[in-house]
Amino acid sequence: MTPSDDLEAKLALLEWKLEERIKELDCIHSITDLVEQPGISLEEILQGIVALVLPAWQYPEVACARAIVEGQEFGTENFRETTWKQVSDIVVRGERIGTLEVYYLEEKPESDEGPFLNEERMLLNTIAERLGRIIERKQAEEALRKVHDELERRVEERTAELTKANETLRQQSQAIMELSTPVIKLWDEIVLLPLVGVIDTPRAQQMMERLLQSIVETESRVAIIDVTGVSVIDTSVAQHVLKTVSAARMLGADVIITGFSPDAAQTLTRLGVDLSAMRTRGTLWTGIVEAFDLIGLQVVPRLEEGRR
Amino acid sequence: MADLTKIRVVLENSRDVVIARGAGREVARQLGFGPADQTRLATAISELARNVIQYAREGVCLVTDESNGHRISIKVVVEDHGPGISDIERAMEYGFSTGGGLGAGLPGAKRLVHEFDIESQPGHTRVTIAMSRPRV
Amino acid sequence: MIIPILRLKDVLLTSIQVDLTDQEALDFQADVLRMVSETEAGGIVIDITALDVVDSFMARVLNDTARIVRILGAEVVLSGMQPMVALALIEMGRELVGVETALNLDQGLERLQRLIQERTSGHGRPD
């Protein structure tokens, strides 16, 4: 062996080693690319990695690989177990959860570890270690997604609850509105609508419609609207009352308004509301007496025996 | 059930006036308007449709559902190709009439609804009325 | 469309059961006036329970009918107006001036009898 032969041999060895290193680097790069694909699942990563490791081995044409993670197997298409294998553990948070394995399908010359090289051992360990970290990250992502989904579900649930509560509230306020406008059948042919509290235009409108309907339903010739309990009667409300009085008359019924306070009467007159068009009485009591009179009845004391 | 989002009634004789107001009432009822609003709308349509028969002989009445998530709304357009209204301002005055009516038609209809719009020129008159209430 | 007008002792009774066109309303008016003058009835009750729209035209027909019947020496009572119809008429600005009303046919007849009594005993209203 000449020195030049020796040099040439060394050079060829170096070149081969370099090529092997490049194959390893390529392998690691392609794994990085795979893992960083957005939205890729752990299963897809494992299936991809077993295919990506093969070109980095010395005899890729007869190599096959498999990853086993938590009992699930991901092998290359040509995978088959043989006696020539290299195995590395996959460890997540200090716990062995699976293995990454490379097999040669046929016998190859003996090398550092069976037919395998020391460099291949190191590469397999590196990839297995990376796989461990990838699984760890994916599991964390999965947990996070679950928390997020759970949160979203709860927000949806809460929103639905709130919508329902809102609906209930609205129905209740409608019911209260109806409750607060009771039309009472006071006597045969007499109905009473006692107004209480604050009356806004929608409520006034609704009450007046109800009163007109009650007049017809109960066939009442007289309706009494008692405004004693109303805190403020503005022009709009007064107009609704006036309108109702006219409509009731058109139906053939009379309306008596009772309980106008002197202040309210004065204010409304000043605002140009003509109260003289209405039949008004100071108190509910005098209003009822007038109502009886209108339907041809009168209240008389009972004639009791022994009474003088 | 018929599609109630849009109903078109051709106005050619006084029977069509009855049909148009009936259609308006029915749509209003289906949308959830109360009996008072149903009657107001039917009465207003009756006034407008009669004007068409009386002054333009024929026209159309279009009833449209304009409701959204918060409000129920109904729109009615009554249109004709008659001579038009020469003085809208006077026509809207209560008691003014050129047709021997009471002169309550247009101003009366306006008082019954929430929105009232009238455009008129010789050959085209369009009256648009609308009613709207919050959903309950 | 012919709306039957019934005679009940000295009064007439009629009920509008369908939505009338303008022409039908005018025909009805003519029938009422003819019946009142032919039968020399003391009065008539017109029941409008079935009318769910009374617009300005129908209001005018009813109003005119009542006025003319009174000129003919009889009384008119309108019964059974729908509450929402009354409301719409008021909102439009229409008063049925001069038409007596009652809530239903019963009260209408009762009211008519009283009006006829008042007229024959000379206590009628000055109009």
What pLDDT does residue B1 have? 46
pLDDT digits (tens, 9 = 90+) for B36-83: 999 999 999 999 999 999 889 999 999 999 998 889 999 999 999 988
Q: Are A207 and A272 found together in one domain?
A: yes
Nearest chain B Cα distance for residue A279, angstroms: 25
- Cα end-to-end span (Å), chain B: 23
Domain of residue A273, CATH code: 3.30.750.24
More confident residue, A168 or B123: B123
Q: Out of C84, C93, C94, whose CB is closest to B35?
A: C84
- Of A159-168, A191-200, B86-95, C12-21, give the range with the top mean pLDDT: C12-21
Tell whether A130 and A249 lie within a shared domain: no
Nearest alpha-carbon partner for B22 in B2, B1, B42:
B42
Residues A118, A193 within the same domain? no
Q: What is the pLDDT of residue B21?
A: 95
Average pLDDT over residues A168-177: 72
User: Quick check: B112 and C22 CB within 8 A?
Assistant: no
Residues A201 and A128 occupy one common structural domain: no
Pair of tokens at residue A113: 């570890």
Give the 3-state secondary structure of residue A178. helix
More confident residue, A256 or A33: A256
Nearest CB to A251: which of C95, C101, C106? Answer: C101
Residue A32 sits in the same domain as residue A127: yes
Considering the domain boundaries, does residue A228 fall inside one? yes
pLDDT band at A299 (very low <50, low <70, confident <90, very high): confident
Note whether A69 and A192 are same-domain residues.
no
Residues of chain A found within 8 Å of residue C113, distances taken between Cβ atoms: none
Residue A195 belongs to a domain: yes
Does some domain include residue A23?
A: yes
Residues A137 and A13 in one domain: yes
Tokens representing residue C106 in the block = 């019963």
Chain C residues touching A220 at Cβ < 8 A: 103
Q: Are strands B115-121 and B124-134 parallel, antiparallel or unpaired?
A: antiparallel
Residues of B in contact with C88 (CB under 8 A): 36, 39-40, 43, 112
Q: Cα Rg for chain A, rounded, in angstroms?
A: 48
pLDDT of residue B16: 94
Q: Do A174 and B136 touch (CB under 8 A)?
A: yes
Question: Is A283 part of any domain?
Answer: yes
A144-153, C30-39, C44-53, range with the lowest pLDDT: A144-153
Beta-ladder partners of A116 = A113
List residues of chain B with CB under 8 Å from any CB of chain C: 13-15, 17-18, 21-22, 25, 35-36, 38-40, 42-43, 46-47, 50, 94, 101-102, 104-105, 107-109, 111-112
CATH number at residue A102: 3.30.450.40
Is B112 close to C55, i.e. CB distance below 8 A? no
Contact B35 A170 (CB under 8 A): no
Q: How far apart are CA A120 and CA A84, in angstroms?
A: 13
Q: Which has more confidence, A230 or A215?
A: A215
Instruction: Please state, in angstroms and as integers, the Cα–Cα distance from residue C23 to each residue in B46, B49, C19, C57, following that order.
Output: 14, 15, 12, 11
Instruction: Please name the member of C79, C86, C106 whose beta carbon is closest to the beta carbon of A247.
Output: C86
For residues A124 and A199, state if they share a domain.
no
Residue A169 has pLDDT above 90, yes or no: no
What lies within 8 Å, CB to CB, of B107 at 6+ separation is: B92, B93, B94, C93
Would you say residue A307 lies in a domain?
no
User: Which position has the higher pLDDT, C53 or C9?
Assistant: C53
Domain count, chain A: 2
Domains of chain B: 6-134 (3.30.565.10)
Structural domain includes residue A160: no
* C6 interface with A at CB cutoff 8 Å: no
User: How many interchain CB pairs under 8 A, A with C?
Assistant: 58
Interface of A with C in 62-101 (CB under 8 A): none
User: Mean of the pLDDT values across residues A236-265?
Assistant: 88
Neighbours of C, requiring at least 3 CB pairs below 8 Å, are: A, B
Among A118, A143, A168, the domain boundary falls at A143
Residue A302 lies in a domain: no
Interchain contact C79–A (C-beta under 8 A) = yes
What is the reported pLDDT for A18?
Answer: 84
Say which amino acid occupies B66.
E
> Are A225 and A139 contained in the same domain?
no
Compute the average pLDDT of residues B110-115. 94
For residue B124, the model assigns a pLDDT of 93
> C50 with C15: CB under 8 angstroms?
yes
Domains located in chain C, CATH noted: 5-120 (3.30.750.24)
Which of C21, C27, C55, C89 would you mutate first to test chain B, the one with the most B CBs within 10 A? C55
Question: Tens of pLDDT along C78-100?
Answer: 999 999 999 999 998 877 777 99
The average pLDDT across C40-66 equals: 93
The pLDDT of residue A199 = 80
Cross-chain Cβ contact C88/B25 below 8 Å: no
Nearest CA in chain C to B45: C55
85-114 of C, contacting A, C-beta below 8 A: 86-87, 89-91, 95-96, 100-104, 106-108, 111
CB A240: neighbour CB atoms within 10 A?
19
- Do A288 and A193 lie in one domain? The reply is yes
Same structural domain, A13 and A139:
yes
Probe site for chain A from C62, C101, C103, C111 (most A CB atoms < 10 A): C103
How is residue B45 written in tokens? 């349509």
Q: Which of A170, A209, A213 sits opposite B136 (nearest CB)?
A: A170
Residue range(s) defining the domain that contains residue A252:
184-294
Distance from CA of B28 to the nearest CA of C (A): 14
* C19: closest CA of chain B, how far (Å): 7
Q: Which residues of B touch A209 (CB under 8 A)?
A: 34-36
Is residue A34 a part of any domain in this protein? yes
Q: Mutation target for B interface from A209, A243, A250: give the one with most B CBs within 10 A.
A: A209
